[in-house]
Structure 1
Amino acid sequence: MNAVSSSVPSAPATPQGVSTAVQPPVQPSPKPMRRRYMAPLEPVSHRAKWLLGIGFFVLFLIVWSAVTFGGMVSPTFLASPLTMVREGILLFTEFNFLHDIGMTVWRVMAGFVLASAVAVPLGIAMGAWKPVEAFFEPFVSFCRYLPASAFIPLLILWAGVGETQKLLVIFIGSVFQITLMVAVTVGGARKDLVEAAYTLGASNTGIVRRVLIPGAAPGIAETLRLVLGWAWTYVIVAELIGSSSGIGHMITDSQALLNTGQIIFGIIVIGLIGLVSDFIFKTINRRMFEWSTL
């Protein structure tokens, strides 16, 4: 018996007053997540967004200057930035270019408002009522693929070369796009919200007024913002033929004189006006629909 007990190792002695309970392992503190640059869908800060956007234009200007001032391209085909600026000043001081800008802006807004006034109610009706969609959708889809510029010869025959022809080009180019996009937005409403409204006693008309239209309003506003950019392309096409004013008319005259400085300046003015209008549209949409994630 003594031999057996002597073969069993004895537990180490612990000092008096020290607890023998097993302590849980200490968990390491979580490391702060590092920002993953260039990861898919990773957002950037507002400051970085501005710097990156401006950086592209700076890089573009540097390349443009190197190509033109370095003599890689003839000035007949591509004017330098300084030549473009001089021609732009000349347009404002001697050729009343401000009037051309005003005419183009007026044509874009008038044609776009007319198209929106027709397309938005029709799109809402197509998205809300499937019989209406079945009746109009084949025709609207067919017309959506027709280029607005193809209608110019007919529109000149029907309406002449005045303002009506130019407004109709913008109208035709915008109305079918807006109609289908609005119909898709309205038709994508959540079914549970519609059923809940019926449960609460809403009528068919009430469903459209109180559920479908408010739910689709941010998407409709975003659709109008996108199509407004397309309207700028249509107005230039309309002004290239049979016009006596407008930015497109100025570009056509400059092309006949091989003045690439004025052509580039006109293109840049169109881009700047479009950028400003897009910024205004986005700001209005954010103010009107602060609760939306668009």
Structure 2
Amino acid sequence: MEKVLKNEEVVKQPPLRPVPKNQNRKPPRNHKWFQPQGDIPHKTYVAISISSILLLFALWSLLTYSGLVDPLFLPTPTDIFQSGIILFTEYGFIGDISITVYRVLVGFAAAAIIGLPLGILMGTFKPVEAFFEPIISAIRYMPASAFIPLFILWIGVGELEKVTIIFVGTFFSLVLMTAVEVGNVRKELLEAAYTLGRSNFGVLRSVILPASIPGIMEIIRLILGWAWSYIIVAELVASSSGIGSLILESQRMLKTGNIIFGILTIGVLGLLSDLILKVAIRKAFPWHYGR
């Protein structure tokens, strides 16, 4: 009897399947490199970034040192470096840099001081959004450079005109993007705050602002990059100082090396400001980025 039961049990057991050959293999180390939103080691990230810059520099050197491109249109890296030395030693280029940085920071700071509170109120209270959004949305699509003749007519060609161009070029987008970020705060958090007895402004202070500040800081970082692009527009018109003015004067004298060096300087300044904000944001809000 026991033998019969044992035979039945043996028959009921599922047959063993062979283990696939590739099942026990470990995934390659770089299997997550091209995974959507996957992470890579920091050293690898830096190495890839540096390689892209070196590749661009190698292509530039190949085109210029080989004579494939006329130096009038694209000077060699050596000529650009020499132009930079001349600008710093003979033309006081450091003064132009300081003036340009001052204009960008003042214009953007004014836009942030006024635009951030307005954007927060628009994203929080629908009546405020309904009142301001049509006007701000319409003006946002008007290029800041189109206002230059009016600014010259209204406020002249002094420093205020340059700062105002930076302000107009960044203010309206900053307001709308901040409003969208604030409006995307999860409704469950608001309902939980109301359940705990918070008032309307209490919810704004204790829930909406803490939840949206990391995103608002990323918006500030993005819009600051736009401010660096608008400074050239501001300084190309009726300006006797700044990097934009130097670029315009170099264009009249066909000094391509000075033009490219001025453009590269703007790019380096913008990159430095972006990196500073990026590091500061991740240090201030490590819980938001999971690091």
Residue type at the aligned position of 1:145: Y
1:172 aligns to 2:172 (yes or no): no
Structure 1 stretch displaced more, 71-80 or 233-242: 71-80
Separation of aligned partners in 2, 1:92 and 1:253: 16
Which of 206, 210, 213 lines up with 1:214 in the alignment? 210
Separation of aligned partners in 2, 1:202 and 1:65: 63
Aligned position for 1:232: 228
Aligned position for 1:50: 46
Aligned position for 2:58: 62
Aligned position for 2:109: 113
1:96 aligns to 2:92 (yes or no): yes
Aligned residues: 275
In the superposition, relative to structure 1, how do residues 47 and 27 fare at CA in structure 2: closer, same or farther (>3 Å)? farther
Which of 245, 248, 251 lines up with 1:249 in the alignment? 245
Shift of 1:213: 0.8
Residue type at the aligned position of 1:119: G
1:136 aligns to 2:111 (yes or no): no
Separation of aligned partners in 2, 1:159 and 1:65: 45
In the superposition, relative to structure 1, how do residues 113 and 27 fare at CA in structure 2: closer, same or farther (>3 Å)? farther
Shift of 1:47: 1.2
Separation of aligned partners in 2, 1:39 and 1:284: 27
Alignment of 1:17-36 (within 5 A): 30-34=24-28, 35-36=30-31
Runs of 5+ consecutive residues of structure 1 not aligned to the other structure: 1-9, 12-21
Which of 152, 156, 168 lines up with 2:152 in the alignment? 156
Aligned position for 2:10: none
Aligned position for 2:274: 278
Separation of aligned partners in 2, 1:39 and 1:72: 40
1:77 aligns to 2:77 (yes or no): no
| Secondary structure of 1:137 counterpart | helix
Shift of 1:56: 1.2
Tell me the TM-score normalised to structure 1 length.
0.89
Task: Provide the alpha-carbon RMSD of the alignment.
Answer: 2.1
Identity of aligned pairs, percent?
49
Residue type at the aligned position of 1:282: K
Aligned position for 1:3: none
Aligned position for 2:119: 123
Aligned position for 1:264: 260
Aligned position for 1:289: 285
Tell me the TM-score normalised to structure 2 length.
0.90
Structure 1 stretch displaced more, 236-245 or 37-46: 37-46
Structure 1 stretch displaced more, 223-232 or 41-50: 41-50
Separation of aligned partners in 2, 1:215 and 1:95: 48
Structure 1 stretch displaced more, 56-65 or 240-249: 56-65
Residue type at the aligned position of 1:184: V
Shift of 1:31: 3.5
Separation of aligned partners in 1, 2:204 and 2:38: 37
1:185 aligns to 2:161 (yes or no): no
Separation of aligned partners in 1, 2:280 and 2:155: 35
Separation of aligned partners in 2, 1:225 and 1:27: 56
* Residues 249-288 of structure 1 deviation map (CA, whole Å, 9 limit, x = unaligned): 1100110111111111111111111111101001111121
| Secondary structure of 2:40 counterpart | coil
